[in-house]
A = this chain, B = another copy of it.
Amino acid sequence: MSEFDFINDLRSQTEARGYPSELLRGIGDDAAVLKQLTGRDTVVSADLLVEGIDFRRDATQPRLLGHKALAVSLSDIAAMGARPRWALVSLAIPADIWASDFVAEFYKGLLGLADCYEVRLIGGDLSRAPGHIAIDSIVIGECLSGNAVLRSGAKPGDHLFVTGTLGGSAAGLRLIERGARVGIHELEDPDVRSIQELLMRHLRPAPRVGWGLVLGEERLASAMIDISDGLSSDLHHLCRESRVGVILESGKLPIDSRVAALCGRRALDPLMLALHGGEDFELLFAVSSENLSRMPNKVDGVGLTKIGEIKPDSEGIRVSEGSRLWDLKPEGWRHF
C-alpha cells in the first residue's frame, strides 16, 4: 500500500464518523479548514513522543501507542479547561514499520480514544524515518471566550487540588525497565494484576477530559496544569506563572494504592514516585475559597484530593511532612 492509499483509507475512516458542521475540510487537502464560531476561543497544543526516549517499541503495542499519542495532547487541552475537537498527527516511521501492521494498529488506538470524546482527526503528516519512530500529536480544542484556564491565575489562599491518583505511571515505567511486559507474567506472582494495571497506567493513560471541561465551563479553577513531567516540576511551572508559593501536604497525596503495595519489595519509594514520577496525566489546579462549595467530588468516576494551599511567592514551594517543612525541588522529567 502506498502512503497515498493509506491516507485515503484514513480519510474514509474519519469521514465514516460523520462530518461535524464546523469542519469544512478534513484529511485530503493541503490543510484542514474549520469554521470559526463567535464567542469561542481556540486552544492548540502539540506533543512529541520519540522512540527510545518516551517509549520503547518492545515494551508497548502499536494500539497502545496510538492511544497514548493522542492522550498526552488531550491532557493538555483538558488542562486549559477546554473541549478537544480536532487532532492532527504527524508520524515518522522506518520502512520496516510501514511494512508491518503497526500503522493500522496505531490509528485504531488513536481513533478509538478520539471517538470517546468525539474528537476528529483532520490532518497531519506521514514520513519515512531512518531509525526511530517519532510522533507529533496536535490537538485543537475550544472554550467559551475567556474561559481558558491558564497556569497564571492562582492566588494565595487558593486550595490546591489534584484529580485521581499519583505515582502509578512512574511505577509502571520502573516495572518495564525491570523487564515487566503487558500480558506476560509469572502465574505464581501474587502481584500480577497490580503490575499489569500499573503497566497500563503508563502505556495507556486516561486524559482527564471530563474534569477539564467541568473546571473550565463552570469557571471553578483559577489556574491549572496537567501532570506530565512530574508533580514537583509541574507545580513549579504553575507557581512561577502565577507568582505564588505553595505548601504541599505530603500525607494528603493520593498515591496509587498499587504503588504503595508493590514498592516495598522493589526498593521504590512511593512518595518519590508520586512527587517526581511524571506522566500521571492528572490535573493539578487551584480553587478559590468562594468556589469550594461548587466543586464536584467526582467526574467520570475520577475523584479529587486537596493536597495543599497556595501561599505568597515569598514562602517558596515547600512540602509539609509530619512536623517537617522542606523545599520541593523540581525533580521531574527533563529532556536536557
Q: Chain A interface (Cβ within 8 Å of chain B)?
A: 1-4, 6, 24-25, 28-54, 76-77, 79-80, 82, 86, 88, 90-92, 95, 98, 122-132, 134, 136, 138-142, 145-146, 148, 150-152, 224-226, 237, 241, 334-336
Contact = CB atoms under 8 A, between A and B. Distances in A.
A3 B130 contact: no
Contact of A41 (B24, B45, B335): B24
Identical chains bound together, number: 2
A142 B32 CA distance: 11
Contacts of A1: 336
Contact of A46 (B125, B128, B129): B125
B46 A88 contact: yes
A112 to B, nearest CB: 21
A26 to B, nearest CB: 11
Contacts of A128: 50, 53, 335-336
Contact of A2 (B54, B138, B336): B336
Nearest to A84: B31
A141 B24 contact: no
Contact of A129 (B37, B44, B50, B150): B50
Nearest to A148: B33
A190 to B, nearest CB: 36
A30 B76 contact: yes
Nearest to A225: B30
Contacts of A225: 30
